[in-house]
């Protein structure tokens, strides 16, 4: 088990490092954070531009700039943004506080949505498989197909237009207390989870139908166990392994969908911060955002791998890797 955990941890760290290198090089070569001063002929603009170039070593080769940024990452965090040198900017302002605030909002949306996805997908998939071929199964499958075929951003827009004016939900701002937080997070989480439940409940149903026909299920029935215990105690555990594996592979897409949901509901998370940074052509903030997103995806994939290893001992032994 220790070797399995170490391998997965090294894979997660390698993923984050690779994203940091690719993002820094791509954004560093594509964006000029001094472009606003290139159009300004005054001496003050020239001075500010020279300050940005000197402070961020913009004349150095891109690999040298990356090494300078990466070597200071663990001591100075993500550092400062060139926007600190703009008129009205504060040179002491760091990227970290605003970035972590936005990341915290996106993390709340993602965590609540994933809980809804897992619980609802398992429930819908088990019910559909348990009553396969029944009118209930057909209805559940129809709703699942409908939910999966509707884009996440469209679901969000419709929920904002239909339920936003009802005063039951807080759109774009957090209400006071736990109740206010639930009223703020409910619609975005449902919007993000709805289509995913439509997709993953199909995986649960398909794998459950296969598991319920396996010899071990027949043996359990032969021992006198109720169908409920066969479904929940035997078939469901084996069906969760491919479900968790597929969900882990799709985590990057889920995080991307959460960005769209964040933007539609105006939550002030990483989506707004990312778009604002693109408008400012800020390669350092953009890199920091992608590194944080990669860290979130890698962490969730690591946890999913641990769950798979717990559910399936063959994964820990490297049989199915």
The per-residue pLDDT for range 65-75, each reduced to its tens digit, is 999 899 888 87
Q: Which residue has the higher pLDDT, 145 or 103?
A: 103
Report pLDDT digits (tens) over 188-227.
999 999 888 888 888 888 888 888 888 888 788 888 888 7
Which of 18-22, 24-28, 251-255 is the least confident region?
A: 251-255
Tell me the DSSP string of 25-90.
HHHHHH--TTHHHHT--SHHHHHHHHHHHHHTTTTS-HHHHHHHHHHTHHHHTT---GGGGSTT--
- Quick one: pLDDT at residue 87? 61
Give the distance from CA 254 to its chain's centroid: 5
Question: Which domains does the chain show, CATH number per domain?
Answer: 10-95 (no CATH), 99-279 (1.10.3720.10)
The angle at the Cα of 22, spanning 21 to 26, to the nearest 5 degrees, equals: 120
Q: Is the dihedral of CA 55, 60, 65, 67 positive or negative?
A: negative
- Quick one: pLDDT at residue 316? 56
For residue 311, is pLDDT > 80?
Answer: no
The angle at the Cα of 180, spanning 179 to 183, to the nearest 5 degrees, equals: 85
pLDDT band at 245; cut points 50, 70, 90 = confident
Which of 218-232, 258-272, 285-299 is the least confident region?
A: 218-232
Q: What is the pTM of this model?
A: 0.81
pLDDT band at 314; cut points 50, 70, 90 = low
pLDDT band at 93; cut points 50, 70, 90 = low
Mean pLDDT confidence for 224-251: 80
Mean pLDDT confidence for 311-318: 61
Contacts of 254 (CB under 8 A, 6+ apart): 110, 113, 114, 117, 192, 196, 247
- Quick one: pLDDT at residue 286? 92
Question: Shortest CA distance to 115 belongs to which of 202, 193, 25?
Answer: 193
| Percent of the chain clearing pLDDT 90 (strictly above) | 21
- Quick one: pLDDT at residue 200? 87
């Amino acid at each position: 088990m220790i070797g399995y955990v170490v391998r997965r941890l090294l894979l997660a760290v390698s993923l984050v490092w690779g994203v940091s290198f690719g993002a820094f090089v791509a954004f560093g070569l594509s964006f000029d954070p001094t472009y606003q001063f290139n159009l300004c002929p005054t001496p003050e603009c020239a001075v500010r531009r020279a300050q940005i170039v000197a402070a961020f070593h913009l004349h150095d080769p891109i690999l040298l700039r990356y090494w300078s940024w990466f070597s200071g990452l663990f001591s100075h965090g993500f550092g400062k943004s060139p926007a600190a040198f703009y008129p009205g900017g504060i040179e002491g302002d760091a990227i970290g506080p605003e970035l972590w605030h936005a990341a915290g909002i996106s993390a709340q949306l993602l965590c609540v949505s994933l809980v809804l996805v897992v619980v609802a997908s398992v429930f819908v998939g088990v019910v559909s498989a348990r009553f396969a071929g029944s009118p209930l199964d057909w209805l559940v499958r129809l709703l699942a197909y409908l939910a999966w075929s509707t884009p996440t951003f469209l679901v969000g827009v419709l929920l904002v237009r239909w339920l936003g004016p009802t005063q039951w939900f807080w759109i774009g701002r957090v209400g006071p207390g736990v109740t206010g937080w639930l009223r703020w997070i409910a619609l975005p989480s449902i919007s993000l989870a709805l289509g995913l439940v439509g997709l993953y409940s199909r995986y649960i149903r398909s794998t459950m139908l296969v598991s319920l026909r396996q010899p071990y299920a027949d043996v359990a029935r032969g021992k006198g166990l109720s169908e409920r215990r066969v479904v929940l105690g035997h078939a469901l555990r084996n069906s969760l392994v491919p479900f968790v594996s597929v969900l882990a592979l799709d985590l990057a897409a889920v995080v991307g969908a959460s960005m769209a949901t964040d933007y539609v509901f105006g939550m002030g998370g990483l989506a707004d911060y990312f778009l604002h940074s693109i408008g400012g052509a800020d390669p350092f903030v953009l890199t920091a955002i992608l590194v944080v997103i990669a860290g979130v995806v890698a962490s969730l994939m690591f946890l999913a791998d641990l769950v798979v290893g717990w559910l399936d001992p063959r994964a820990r032994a490297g049989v199915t890797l």
